[in-house]
Structure 1
Amino acid sequence: MTGSTASRLLGSLSLLALATLPATALAQAAQAEDTPSGGLSEIVVTAQKKAESIQSVPISIAAVGGDTLAAMNVTTLQALQGSVPNVQIDNFANTPNNAVFTIRGIGVIEPDPYAGNTVSIVVDGVPQFFSMGALLDTYDSNRVEILRGPQGTLFGANTTGGVVNVVTNQPTGEFGGYVRGTVGNWYRFDINAAIEAPLVKDVVSVKVAGIHTQRDGWVTNVWNGEDMGRKNVDAVRGQLYITPNADLKITLQGEYVEARNGAPIVVNGGLPGEANYVPEGTFWNGAVEPMYRSPCATAGQPCVAPDKYYSGNNEVPDQSDMTTKFFIGTIQYDNTPLGDITAITGYKHFTLFEYTDQDGTAKTNNATRRRTRGWQFSQELRSAFDVGERFNAVAGLFYMKTDYNHYQMYHLDFALPGLIQYNVQDQGTESFSAFLQTYTQLTDALKLSAGIRYTHDSIDARATLDTGLGSENLTSANWDKFDVLFPGSLDVGGKKSWNNVGWKIGLDYEVGQNQLVYANWARGFKSGGFTGRIGVAADGNAPYNPEKVDTFELGLKADFLDRRLRANLAAFYTSYRDMQVAQIYFDPATNVQGNRILNAAESEIKGFELELQAVPVDGLTLRGSLAYLDTKYKDFLYFDPVAANFIDLKGYALQNAPKWASTLGINYTAEFADGSSLVADASWMYTGQKFYTAVVNTPRSSVQPTYYVDALLTYYGPDKRYSIGLWGKNLFDKRYISTVYDSPGYMGIVGYAPPRQFGVTVGYNF
């Protein structure tokens, strides 16, 4: 991006905090097209696998630009939580590496890969099959596009909730780069940089980008008084850009990420009488501080975050290591007899190894050692073509193969000293699909969109569980050996395949210049599977069924007053059948933890997203959004394995689906005569109360409403050559529960939201 283009974008949009403009962003690939002075710019996105203005895409989509991510020092996708209407970006309570994306009330809250995803994370055209590591490290990013609602025709299975489309900065063939450093509280230190250099002018160029980010944790370990949850990540991405001629572009991209973080944090939300309850004020195993008060200490009430965060780890190393290798090969060949051809090859391999003190105290109750190794290979081949002046289409084929091996050694000393469960999961999947998405200009103003996709998914899964007694600790070389092996080992799983035909059909109509109304109907599909983390044989012997989603959406995208006012509105109704509900349950009578995926017969979701922007005077941008969700089961007769009775859940709300959410923001950009500028931005984000991981929506599974204020102040030198910025997140230091898993008889597993963060960032472009 040239300095003048960046200046225009900064002046007309905003370099905002985490509550970015809900429907637009400072995408570096964005281009101003016939933009009136001081008006709102057009933003180019690739949400439908072709470049087009975000305001002309007839779906509900938000985009967050790379400049915005950099200015607010967003280093993972999770930092976008609360900034996009009807989108929840979380993790499971005791597995911070595992993404939990929920869009419009549709998501999967389960830490292990067997549960799959309902929101697909796509990086430079490659879908990420595994939720482990899907809270991506964002550096040298061009933009993040979030597509709400089923996207089955263009993106395939496991997109019943939507798609998060991450686009990194691609080589341009020109020399340039940047370096940026950050220091902040919690001993945060970041350094990230990128450089591109042509090897053969206009033919071959190479680019390298990387980041190092580290900080201390904000949770105190009562056992030794040290911090918990530290972060230390290094990542590097190399790209080779080859353009033999004007029509052929080849990009070879490789990435290596090494995360050496602190162990996952479990906060004990136990109650008296539960298996893992530890009384407040007691000391264990030579702890330097007493046991903290349970955040869920008041029975029958939601958990409450304290002013100071405590947890405990006396049993296992403070270790969570993840290594990822990711390769993408992209070939773009335009103007062929078969249209514009795109081929994308992707391969990813990861290893996650970590320990967790699962009781979150200084007492020796229970802990885990977990390792997961997984890989995926994918190939997409598609063509974009025109037939005459009024018809164009995208057609293609897609193939993916995945495999993972996972073990968990689980010490359950609270039930019986030396009791160990050893679970192994092996699973492979294959997916093949063929798709066609068409666009027909019926009149100059009316366009018909129609798409179809055939999918064949197959799975081969096996899970085993051994139980016994062992004297070795989790760090021993013989950690997987038993002194006594109990009878009744489990060996479950099987093979299964599913076929599906999904579709999307819609109409959009231009009611005026830069004003569009649309309506569409989309059907999404998520495959079935087998439970992998088993406790009882019944949980893994039979597969759970696929789920299907039908979403009907009406929308408006409109600019007014010479593009000084923008209003986007989407209203939707979703029929959700055979919904997959992940459940972890604990039976106090047998001290057995069970895991399963249930198929709720039917549920429905209704809601809307309203997003507004205004530029009342040059340099000043106001923004706001309001989102509403009404989610409920229509038919779900649920068998409670603990109470051993049936409960009719008709009318109960879905998990991770707050009824209301909103954002407000203000941005002012002052341009100076020497070409420098000053950007000031403040944003407010509200997310309503929601239930997290309890099928029956218990009070302890409730997560309180959240209110956040973020801000930044950045000075840019002439031509944006250098910059220095002050930034802050959660300025009023609100303390919140972020996740909670309610397991009656065991305890509540609680996670805390980040406290206040602030810092200084200095950057230089060349």
Structure 2
Amino acid sequence: MFRYDSTAPTTLSLFMLACALESPNAVAQGLMEEVVVTAQKREESIQDVSLSVARLAGESLDSKFTGGDTVLALAGAVPGLYAESSGGRTAPRFYMRGLGNPDFNPAASQPVSVVMDEVPMEKSTFKSFPVFDVQSIEVIRGPQGTLYGRNTTAGIIKFDSNKPTDDLEGYVRTSVGNLGTFNFEGAMGGSLIDNVLSGRISVLSQNRSNWIDNTFTGKRDAIGGFDERAGRAQLLWTPTDRFSALLLHQRRDLGGNTSSAFRANILSTGSNDLNGHFDRDKVNYDGGDNQRAEADGSGTNLTLTWDRDGYTLTSITSHQEATRFSRSDVDGGVCNFCGDPSGPGNIPFPVDTASDSDLEQLSQELRFTSLLDGPLNYQAGFFYFEDELNFVDLNSAEPAAPTDSIGVRSSTFIENTTWAVFAQADYDLTDALVLTAGIRYTDDEKTARYAAPPSSSHFDLARSLAPVKLGDNDTSLEASLAYQISDASQVYGRIASGFRAPTIQTTLNADPDLTTADSETILSYELGYKAELADKVRLNSAVFYYVVDDLQLTAVGGESNSVRLLNAEEGVGYGIELDVSYFATESLLISGGFGYNKTEYRDDGLATEPCGSGMCTVLDPIDANGNAVIDGNPFLHAPKWNLNFEVSYTHPLANGDELFVYTDWKVKGETNDFLYESTEYITDTQFEGGLRLGYRGLGAGYEIALFSRNITDEANVTGGIDFNNLTAYVNEPRIWGLEASYRFQ
């Protein structure tokens, strides 16, 4: 296990900064290209925008997904960003500056919003769409309540696909690796009617064989494989210089045994180290249908743009739909009190759960953007959103049911409607001083209906409860002041608020107080400094402090083996973010980042059920009801710090081609897995690295590379299940192989 003392993050980050700021005698001029972002829904240099933004593109982006990984590969890729999932490839959960939601239910709202091609993807199933043919990913930290609306109290991850052009261009990329890994992606686009109609088609196929044995059933290679297919088609119509229409349609189909592999008792009481029960290649399941998971869906976006003298009008219409099925042996092994003494340690009762859901989402945005020559420019618009979720909670009909026997336990229908009006303006107070101010009014309503059979053997006698309705409205504000110190540096200050609407769970029951949560609001303060130094160093840094009122929390597990929602009176966080790129030579780029988060729940007497198995060493005070008092605890799944760095080196050859080496590493500090603190479920420092090395035929457009993800094969605990035993799940194993690509234009 990788360990070092607590001074390492500070020392290492300062060392990286010192290296980056060093100015050798031989200064390479003009190595840095401008980085353009659209964090504020218009193109701007990343050095000019008064936000904490990181951008992933090109080699850095491609390398992270070489081994067929999901969006979870973004965890730790930039300062302040973390991701994890107990649902495998179908249900990612993101955390930014410590704020996130561990709820695995498909109706769960997340404070980190995911925006794909300018469309917000609200539910986790939509957020799990595979990454391919993407131009860039922007990570926008801090609340973005003005331009992006509710449920963005933590920040935004913004995906932008490559768009059609008039030039014929495209690529194919394929890789083969261990564990039966095979990936293929490609795209082709160009003009269909000169200067009037262009198109682009992109496809993805990701495959991996099952590689985990189920020792209970004796089936070899039973779990861990997947078969992912996705495609995207786009048409861009430009009948005049002032009008364009972009139609985008995408689909995905995922199947396999990809739910997270829960592993019973791989932790021991009093320790957070993996013990002898852990074997990455084996599990011991009597249920869960070998962790079967399926997801499919499609979506269509229509973006219309009218350019007029002095302004642009944009309309974005989107419809998304998806289905998702998953089944898991949640107890992580074989019940040793059910007539079978085999299995990894104490498992008092079996838990075999499954669920099926249908999702549909509709959104419409109208945006008016000024194009004025004077000191004032602004945006204003209207946003409408609605979605529907049909959720069926499934479970084994009887405790000792066969592994293929499931029945309906309950069903829930939830619909959500929200609308908003917004405006944001920039005003140049002087040539060097810019004021930005924004406002957004949001109205949000949710309705849920729940039906549950009165017993497991009489599903036809379901009872219906009265609908539960929640609603709220909020006005979000933002103001920032940016001062241009020189042509190459600026400082800014930003105050922003955000709003996360009331939440209703899919596990709604006869006591809605346990499965609903009130709205939360955030007020955030941020100071930033951005600079380009000696034509070799790009530095972006920020310090932040925020207060969340009525912080929505999700308590998972405990003695009742349930998922419960609650509000904390207040949550507080502060920290720093540092992104540095050092263009040492034309052949060598060193980049990295460091983030520190200090978070804390503040609510006297706030308590939740501790570890339900009784096997945990709970570190919190216990109240009169036997619950753990969490006041003062750090936020769950919020690493205290994270560090990432990348090195890209190319060696030119006499024939004009080049050899290249690229490596990327990420390290995260101590992280708490639950609302309460326990010895077993606080993970220590963890790290992961990747490597690509190969040959690039620059003139011919091809590339051949050897690659490896998780190159040191680290077994890092990424989450736990506490109600039955000391269950945990870990990261993906080492994937290595050969990749070849060809790009044409």
TM-score by length of 2: 0.87
Q: Summarize deviations over 1:41-63 as a string: whole Å, max 9, x none.
A: 11111111001111111111111
Matched, 1:750 2:731: no
Q: Hey, what's the Cα distance between the residues in 2 that align with 1:713 and 1:357? A: 39
Aligned partner of 1:295: which letter?
I
Counterpart position of 1:675: 656
- Structure 1 segment 119-268 matched on structure 2, within 5 A: 119-223=112-216, 224-268=219-263
Q: Summarize deviations over 1:404-431 as a string: whole Å, max 9, x none.
A: 1000112385599999771211000001
Any conservation in 2 of the 1:637–1:647 contact (CA below 8 Å)? Answer: no
CA gap of 1:503–1:218, structure 2 versus 1, over 3 A, is farther
1:649 to 627, 630, 633: 630
1:548 to 521, 545, 548: 521
TM-score by length of 1: 0.85
Displacement after TM superposition at 1:336 (Å): 4.6
2:83 to 58, 81, 89: 89
Any conservation in 2 of the 1:355–1:368 contact (CA below 8 Å)? Answer: yes
Matched, 1:389 2:363: no
Matched, 1:301 2:294: no
Displacement after TM superposition at 1:172 (Å): 0.8
CA gap of 1:734–1:313, structure 2 versus 1, over 3 A, is same
Counterpart position of 1:520: 494
Counterpart position of 1:59: 51
Moved more, 425-434 or 668-677: 668-677
Any conservation in 2 of the 1:698–1:742 contact (CA below 8 Å)? Answer: no
Any conservation in 2 of the 1:194–1:209 contact (CA below 8 Å)? Answer: yes
Moved more, 419-428 or 197-206: 419-428
Aligned partner of 1:604: which letter?
V
| Aligned-residue CA RMSD (Å) | 2.6
Matched, 1:350 2:322: yes
Q: Hey, what's the Cα distance between the residues in 1 that align with 2:540 and 2:607? A: 42
Q: Summarize deviations over 1:448-499 as a string: whole Å, max 9, x none.
A: 01000000001111223335244xxxxxxxxxx649x7x9x67364122211
Displacement after TM superposition at 1:99 (Å): 1.5
Q: Hey, what's the Cα distance between the residues in 2 that align with 1:509 and 1:315? A: 61
Aligned partner of 2:424: which letter?
Q
Q: Percentage identity across aligned positions?
A: 27
Q: Which runs of 5 or more structure 1 residues have no equivalent in the other structure?
A: 1-18, 24-34, 270-293, 471-480
Q: Hey, what's the Cα distance between the residues in 2 that align with 1:764 and 1:734? A: 32
Q: Hey, what's the Cα distance between the residues in 2 that align with 1:578 and 1:607? A: 21
2:555 to 565, 577, 583: 583
Q: Hey, what's the Cα distance between the residues in 2 that align with 1:541 and 1:663? A: 39
Q: Summarize deviations over 1:302-322 as a string: whole Å, max 9, x none.
A: 252745343233335343221
* Count of matched residue positions in the alignment of Structure 1 and Structure 2: 686
Matched, 1:437 2:443: no
Q: Which runs of 5 or more structure 2 residues have no equivalent in the other structure?
A: 1-12, 18-26, 339-349, 611-623
Q: Hey, what's the Cα distance between the residues in 1 that align with 2:401 and 2:302? A: 52
Counterpart position of 1:627: 595
Matched, 1:606 2:601: no
1:718 to 683, 687, 698: 698
Matched, 1:537 2:537: no
Displacement after TM superposition at 1:119 (Å): 0.7
- Structure 1 segment 263-302 matched on structure 2, within 5 A: 263-269=258-264, 294-296=265-267, 298-302=268-272
Matched, 1:43 2:13: no
- Secondary structure class of the residue paired with 2:107: helix
CA gap of 1:578–1:130, structure 2 versus 1, over 3 A, is same
Counterpart position of 2:297: 324
Counterpart position of 2:740: 762
Q: Summarize deviations over 1:109-154 as a string: whole Å, max 9, x none.
A: 1011333111110000000011124133011110110101101101
Any conservation in 2 of the 1:87–1:104 contact (CA below 8 Å)? Answer: yes
CA gap of 1:174–1:113, structure 2 versus 1, over 3 A, is same
Displacement after TM superposition at 1:613 (Å): 1.9
Counterpart position of 2:675: 695
Moved more, 597-606 or 388-397: 388-397
Counterpart position of 1:616: 584
Matched, 1:400 2:394: no
Displacement after TM superposition at 1:86 (Å): 1.0
Q: Summarize deviations over 1:485-517 as a string: whole Å, max 9, x none.
A: 7x9x67364122211000110101111122011
Counterpart position of 2:307: 334
Any conservation in 1 of the 2:146–2:476 contact (CA below 8 Å)? Answer: yes
Any conservation in 2 of the 1:437–1:451 contact (CA below 8 Å)? Answer: yes
Any conservation in 1 of the 2:608–2:629 contact (CA below 8 Å)? Answer: no
Q: Which runs of 4+ in 1 moved over 6 A?
A: 415-421
Q: Hey, what's the Cα distance between the residues in 2 that align with 1:661 and 1:412? A: 44
Aligned partner of 1:667: which letter?
S
Aligned partner of 1:700: which letter?
E
Q: Summarize deviations over 1:283-302 as a string: whole Å, max 9, x none.
A: xxxxxxxxxxx212x21322
1:377 to 354, 357, 362: 362
Any conservation in 2 of the 1:326–1:349 contact (CA below 8 Å)? Answer: yes
Q: Hey, what's the Cα distance between the residues in 1 that align with 2:57 and 2:609? A: 46
Q: Hey, what's the Cα distance between the residues in 2 that align with 1:176 and 1:387? A: 34
Aligned partner of 1:690: which letter?
T
- Secondary structure class of the residue paired with 1:700: coil
CA gap of 1:615–1:210, structure 2 versus 1, over 3 A, is same
Q: Summarize deviations over 1:68-109 as a string: whole Å, max 9, x none.
A: 333441652111222111100111x24541121000011111
CA gap of 1:354–1:518, structure 2 versus 1, over 3 A, is same
Q: Hey, what's the Cα distance between the residues in 1 that align with 2:537 and 2:258? A: 47
Displacement after TM superposition at 1:593 (Å): 3.6
Q: Hey, what's the Cα distance between the residues in 2 that align with 1:63 and 1:396? A: 26
Aligned partner of 1:177: which letter?
G
Any conservation in 1 of the 2:531–2:539 contact (CA below 8 Å)? Answer: yes
Aligned partner of 2:521: which letter?
K
CA gap of 1:36–1:449, structure 2 versus 1, over 3 A, is farther
- Secondary structure class of the residue paired with 1:132: helix
Q: Hey, what's the Cα distance between the residues in 1 that align with 2:327 and 2:298? A: 22
Moved more, 254-263 or 412-421: 412-421
Moved more, 455-464 or 702-711: 702-711
Q: Hey, what's the Cα distance between the residues in 2 that align with 1:420 and 1:205? A: 49
Matched, 1:361 2:333: yes
Q: Summarize deviations over 1:705-735 as a string: whole Å, max 9, x none.
A: 2112211113221336111111111111111
Q: Hey, what's the Cα distance between the residues in 2 that align with 1:191 and 1:263? A: 19
- Secondary structure class of the residue paired with 2:220: coil
Any conservation in 2 of the 1:580–1:599 contact (CA below 8 Å)? Answer: yes
Q: Hey, what's the Cα distance between the residues in 2 that align with 1:178 and 1:684? A: 27
Q: Summarize deviations over 1:563-615 as a string: whole Å, max 9, x none.
A: 2012221100011110000113444xxxx543321000012101001122212
Q: Hey, what's the Cα distance between the residues in 2 that align with 1:762 and 1:416? A: 48
Any conservation in 2 of the 1:228–1:265 contact (CA below 8 Å)? Answer: no
- Secondary structure class of the residue paired with 2:562: strand
Any conservation in 1 of the 2:328–2:353 contact (CA below 8 Å)? Answer: yes
- Secondary structure class of the residue paired with 2:72: helix
CA gap of 1:315–1:42, structure 2 versus 1, over 3 A, is same
Q: Hey, what's the Cα distance between the residues in 2 that align with 1:630 and 1:412? A: 45
Displacement after TM superposition at 1:225 (Å): 2.8
Displacement after TM superposition at 1:379 (Å): 0.5
Q: Hey, what's the Cα distance between the residues in 2 that align with 1:640 and 1:660? A: 26
CA gap of 1:244–1:434, structure 2 versus 1, over 3 A, is same
Aligned partner of 1:62: which letter?
A
- Secondary structure class of the residue paired with 1:152: coil
Displacement after TM superposition at 1:246 (Å): 1.5
Aligned partner of 2:656: which letter?
G
Aligned partner of 2:465: which letter?
D
Q: Hey, what's the Cα distance between the residues in 2 that align with 1:612 and 1:586? A: 42
2:471 to 497, 514, 531: 497
